[in-house]
Amino acid sequence: MVEVYCPKCGHQFNVQVRAPTGSGSRKGKSLKNLTQNHVQLFHVLRKSGRHLTVHQIQKMLFTAMNGQPLMYETRHGKRYWSYHLCQKTLSLLVGKGLISMTKPQDEHFDWRAGEFLSSPVPTYFLTSDQVANFGLLLKDQKNIIIA
């Protein structure tokens, strides 16, 4: 919970936040095995060759295979990549050091939307070293785990 004050009336209220900033990146450091979902996101970033936002990555996942969307695989079946699943998985990969992210310089609370926004929007990208290291990592890890 975060205490927020209205700049117009001065009213104080609490806002529920999902997770502390950077918690996904911290969990990524303890990531032991790659899943097929991690590999899908990596391939989307590698094919694009440029900086992408989460929305752009999500759009590429929906149109990846000849118009057929790539699905997020779980033990209970498959589902579409939502914005939050995409963001969570990207944060884990950033924490592991497999992909890079531009850091937002400013976070502010949007009163109309009722949520925190960052400016500029973070983008995800790959360096040439990360592409080479990921290829070696896939050779070492013979079985890709299905989450």
Are the C-beta atoms of 64 and 70 separated by less than 8 Å?
yes
Per the structure, the count of domains in the chain is 1
Residue 57: inside a domain, yes or no? yes
pTM exceeds 0.85 for this model: no
- CA dist 80 and 86 (Å) reads 10
Domain membership of residue 53 as a residue range: 19-140
Residue 128: inside a domain, yes or no? yes
Three-class DSSP category at 139 = helix
* 94-124 pLDDT tens trace: 988 888 988 776 666 777 777 777 677 788 9
- CA dist 84 and 63 (Å) reads 18
Query: Domain of 39: which CATH number?
Result: 1.10.10.10
Residue 5: inside a domain, yes or no? no
* 15-62 pLDDT tens trace: 655 555 677 778 888 888 888 888 888 888 988 889 999 999 988 888
Separation in Å, CA 20 to CA 49, 52, 113, 130? 30, 23, 19, 27
Residue 111: inside a domain, yes or no? yes
End-to-end CA distance of the chain: 30
Residue 74: inside a domain, yes or no? yes
